[in-house]
Chain A
Amino acid sequence: MGEAGWWVLQRATGILLVLPVGVHLFAQATGAVDLTVRFVSDLALLVLVVLHSLPGLRTMVHDYVPDSRLRVWAERLLLLGGAALVGYGAWGLWKFFA
């Protein structure tokens, strides 16, 4: 993915995050949200948080890691960590709501 793609990903996921974050906070404060809606919203929140944080963390890697080979490995590590967090979190949410 090119730099423009990362830029769009961060902005788009940032805007999309407002809805599931709002639902999550409202549900925690009131408890007045259907369980299925909460599950779907929390799952979307998890995926969007990871997709939003990846470009930000990648920017930090580019700012602070001068070696290009190390940067590539750090990016791979970030992608792997993000995928693992989504998988682990989705499994945890499924267990939590079940």
Chain B
Amino acid sequence: MGLRFEVRRPAYPLSWPRLHRAGVWARRLQRVSGLVLVAFAVWHVFQVVGAAQDRARLAAMVSTLYHPAFIGLVLAALGFHTLNGLRTVLLDLGLLGSQRQVGAILAAALGTVLLVAAALGWRLR
């Protein structure tokens, strides 16, 4: 009899700190973008109700909604929240390995930049 030691593989891959940092930032951005979208949704509901009663408010709402800075902010929040949320769902379902998380987060960020660029290109054409 005696103590037996079992050699186990590390619980986390060697890139854990990098992976961890990226995940933390993705989670923070997911939360901030979600709050931006909730604020936008509440504002938009009140604007639509106001516009239904007064056509002058409709013009003001459209003017705000189609402002390039506003389009950029809302679509950046929407794009990142959607793409990073999709990454989270795939991770939860086991369809995306933890080794690919950094790449998936970068892909979500790149997709967001492309979406915003396409929207601004459409708006400023």
Q: Are A14 and B85 in contact (CB under 8 A)?
A: yes
CB under 8 Å from chain B, chain A span 48-98: 49, 53, 56-57, 60, 85, 88-89, 91-93, 95-96
Q: Are B89 and A46 in contact (CB under 8 A)?
A: no
A side interface size, CB within 8 A: 21
Q: Is B6 an interface residue (CB 8 A)?
A: no
What are 21 A-B pairs with beta-carbon distances under 8 A?
A11-B92, A14-B85, A15-B89, A21-B82, A28-B65, A46-B45, A49-B37, A53-B34, A56-B31, A57-B38, A88-B45, A88-B49, A89-B49, A91-B49, A92-B49, A92-B52, A93-B48, A95-B49, A95-B53, A96-B49, A96-B52
Q: Is B5 an interface residue (CB 8 A)?
A: no
Q: In the complex, given contacts A92-B48, A92-B49, A96-B49, what are 13 additional A-B residue pairs having Cβ atoms less than 8 angstroms apart? A: A15-B89, A21-B78, A21-B82, A53-B37, A53-B41, A56-B34, A60-B31, A85-B42, A89-B49, A92-B52, A93-B48, A95-B49, A95-B53
CB distance from B68 to the nearest CB of A (A): 14
| 10 cross-chain pairs, A with B, having the tightest CB-CB distances, nearest first | A92-B49, A95-B52, A96-B52, A89-B45, A53-B38, A92-B48, A49-B41, A56-B34, A14-B85, A96-B48
CB distance from B105 to the nearest CB of A (A): 17
**Chain A residues with CB below 8 A from B52, complex form:** 92, 95-96
| B65 nearest CB neighbor, chain A only | A28
Chain A residues within 8 Å of B, Cβ to Cβ: 11, 14-15, 18, 21, 28-29, 46, 49, 53, 56-57, 60, 85, 88-89, 91-93, 95-96
**Chain A residues with CB below 8 A from B65, complex form:** 28
Interface code B78-109, partner A: CB below 8 Å = 1, 0 otherwise? 10001001000100100000000000000000
Q: Is B22 an interface residue (CB 8 A)?
A: no
| A94 nearest CB neighbor, chain B only | B52
**Chain A residues with CB below 8 A from B38, complex form:** 53, 56-57
CB distance from A29 to the nearest CB of B (A): 7
